[in-house]
Amino acid sequence: MLPPDTIDAVAALRESEERLRLALASAAMGTWRWDVRTDINTRDASFNRILG
pLDDT tens digits for range 10-41: 999 999 999 999 999 899 899 999 999 999 99
Distance in angstroms (rounded) separating the CA atoms of residues 25 and 8: 26
Q: What angle do CA 30, 45, 48 make, to 5 degrees?
A: 75
Q: What is the chain's percent helix, strand, coil content, to nearest 5?
A: 60, 15, 25
Provide mean pLDDT across the span 35-52: 93
Which pTM does this prediction carry? 0.67
3-state secondary structure of 5: helix
